Every structure is written in C-alpha cells, then in structure tokens.
Amino acid sequence: MPEMPEHHDEGSAIASTGAGGATDLAMSEAETLEKVPGGPDGTGPDKKARSLWSDAWHDLRRNPVFIISGLIILFLVVIAIWPQLIASGNPLDCDLSKAQEGSQPGHPFGFNGQGCDVYTRTVYGARASIQVGVLATLGVTLLGSVLGGLAGFYGGAWDGFLSRITDIFFAIPVVLGGLVLLSVVSNNSVWPVIGFMVLLGWPQISRIARGSVITAKQNDYVQAARALGASNSRMLLRHITPNAVAPVIVVATIALGTYISLEATLSFLGVGLKPPTVSWGIDISSASQYIRNAPHMLLWPAGALAVTVLAFIMLGDAVRDALDPKLR
C-alpha cells in the first residue's frame, strides 16, 4: 500500500461530532499519525473481528440489569417446570373452613376464598401464566414482525392487502372475540388461549414492525448495499432487521404483561383456563372481590405477576440497548 500522505491525519483521532456528544474517544493530539496499538478507550488491538451480536453479548454479560432480570426469569422458568421444588403442598388441596384466613405457620401467604394455600397456588400458577405470557408474546412477535416487516419492505399490493387485514383485526373487540371464539373450544389447556391471543395480537406488532422497517429502508446504507448488488434477504437480515428491531422489542415486552392479565380476564369470564388449572390470572380475578377483607389473596399473585412483567421489560430494555452501538 502506498504511503499515506501527510494531511491524512484526520484519521488518527476519533472524535464525537458535536456538543450533543456521543462517546468521546478523542486523542489529545489530533496530529499524531502513529498507529497506536489499542484504542484510547482501552480496548486492545484484538485480532478477532467483532460483530453486532457478539458485541451485544459481550455488553449484556456485564450489564447488571440484564443479569438481575435474567436471574429472575430463570428462577420463574424453573419453578414453572418444577413447582414442587419450593412448594410441598397441593394447590387443589383446599379447606373451606380456612377461607380468607391470613398468614400462619406453614402457610406464609394465608388462604384464599376457597381455603386453598395462597403460597402453593402462587407457585403453581407460574406455569400457566408464564406459558401463556411467553408463548403468546413469541407467537405474536414472530407472526407480526414477519408479516409487517415483509409488507414494509416490499410495499405495493401486499402491503395494501395486509394493512386492510390489520385494520379488520383491530376492529374486533378482544373480550367479545374471546367469548365467541373460545366458547366453541372445549379443550381444557393453555393452547386455545395462546392461539386466540396470537390471532388477535399480531396486528399490533405488525403495524409497528412495518413502520420501523419503512423507516430503516429509507436510509442510504440500504441503498448502498443495493448498489453493491446485495440480495433482498441480505438487506433485510443485515441492514433492516437490526435497525428496526428496537421498537418491536419494547412493545413485545410490555405486551407480555398484558397477555398474562388478558388470560385472567378470559378465565374470569369462563372462557380462558378452567379449574383445575391454576394460574395467577384466575386467582387475581377471584381475589379481586375480597380486596377489602383479605387483600393478601390479591397481593401475592398480583405481586408475582408484576415481578414477572418487570423482569421481562428490563430484559427487553437491556437487549435493545445492547443492540445500539451508540449507547455503549
């Protein structure tokens, strides 16, 4: 390679671009042309090429928010699979004579309206609630972002068609739709509920995904990739998706909580999960009538729900930030 001309030393200093100031990596002397080993920020001259995802992972492992939310979620998943690990009782083992009683030895959370142990029910309820919340969110996000993303990317007739379909789905009232659709299924498992949520939930994500794909698509770097001869799939996967994913993650993590409480509403109306299935939603809705006399019945399952939703929102925030190099 030819020798670098003298005045190219602009290259030796990296500086942020204005008062709004991003990360400052400016070296003290703009004219030092020497190729300093290692950046001024202390990162050594690693020979390994880094990518967005490896950098993001590198970042996440050091992020306390990610670690805390990850541990909470891990714990929730473990008790959802093996509730007996921390609860020895049977959630369906109830004694009406103890109905609404408060905390007592061996029953730290007290009893609910049917005289069942609140602690045991809260632990066992995790399974159905987390199943519904996580799977519905996953389904909605996948379906919504694929359909919306493609509509945004290709535009034209497919976009027009999909937008009208989205409008139609938006017009369906969720509770009414649930009453109609779920009352015809007799299957007593979480699957019909999840299926129903995905069916009615995807347009919300689809709309957001479409919008952010259209925004990302207009950037010059997508044009630059096209001018290089990049295929559509490369443009979508490498250039558009990483730049369009943030709003989808935010909405999806918030939606997770909504799905867990929607399950409760549906169960309360008798079309969601049915006993003997145990879920936070069922317990919250049945306890809400006794909130004045026995608030503990509501407090524990609602608290568990709140912690779960918070953990997922924190996780989503951490992942979103890790995927944005500007915030590093």
Tell me if 16 contacts another protein by CB under 8 A: yes
Determine the Cα–Cα distance for residues 224 and 230; give it in Å rounded to an integer. Answer: 9
Position 157 contacts another protein (CB under 8 A): no
CA distances (Å), origin 306, targets 150, 312, 319 = 34, 10, 20
Q: 162 to 221, contacts with another protein by CB under 8 A?
A: 219-221
CA 232 to chain centre: 27
d(C-alpha 126, C-alpha 320), whole Å? 26
- Minimum Å gap between C-beta 218 and another protein is 9
User: 262 vs 323, which CB is nearer to another protein?
Assistant: 323
Residues in region 62-91 near another protein by CB under 8 A: none
Where in 48-67 is the site for another protein (CB under 8 A)?
49-52, 55
Which ranges constitute the DSSP H helices of the chain? 52-60, 64-81, 118-154, 156-171, 174-183, 190-217, 220-227, 232-234, 241-268, 280-287, 296-322
Contact in structure between 143 and 111 (CB atoms under 8 Å): no
Taking alpha carbons only, the member of 218, 265, 263, 223 closest to residue 244 is 218
Asked if residue 229 binds another protein (CB under 8 A), the reply is yes
Q: Is 24 in the site for another protein (CB under 8 A)?
A: yes
5 Cβ contact list (under 8 Å, min separation 6): none
Rounded Cα–Cα distance for residues 10 and 32 (Å) = 9
Compute the distance between CA of residue 241 and CA of residue 218 in angstroms, rounded to an integer.
13
Query: Count residues contacting another protein (CB under 8 A)?
Result: 64
> In angstroms, what is the minimal distance from the CB of 294 to another protein?
47
**Considering beta carbons, is residue 17 or 97 the nearer one to another protein?**
17
By the rule CB under 8 A, 238 interacts with another protein:
yes
Among 31, 93, 95, 167, binds another protein (CB under 8 A): 31
For residues 52 and 71, which CB has a smaller minimum distance to another protein in the complex? Answer: 52
User: Minimum distance between the CB of residue 15 and another protein, rounded to whole angstroms?
Assistant: 5
Q: How far is the CB of 190 from another protein (least distance, A)?
A: 36
Q: What residues pair up with 111 in beta bridges, in sequence order? A: 117
Is the N-terminal amide bond of 276 cis, ω within 30° of 0?
yes
Distance separating alpha carbons of residues 102 and 110, to the nearest angstrom:
4
Query: In the bound complex, what is the minimum distance in angstroms from residue 171's beta carbon to another protein?
Result: 19
- 28: contact with another protein by CB under 8 A: yes
30 binds another protein (CB under 8 A): yes
What's the number of CA atoms in the CB half-sphere (13 Å) around residue 244? 30
Q: Looking at 171, 176, 184, 227, which residue binds another protein (CB under 8 A)?
A: 227
Closest approach, Cβ 6 to another protein, in A, equals: 8
Considering the rule CB under 8 A, would residue 156 count as an interface residue with another protein? Answer: no
Residues that bind another protein (CB under 8 A): 1-2, 4-26, 28-31, 35-39, 43, 45-46, 49-52, 55, 219-221, 223-231, 234, 238-239, 242-243, 323-326, 328
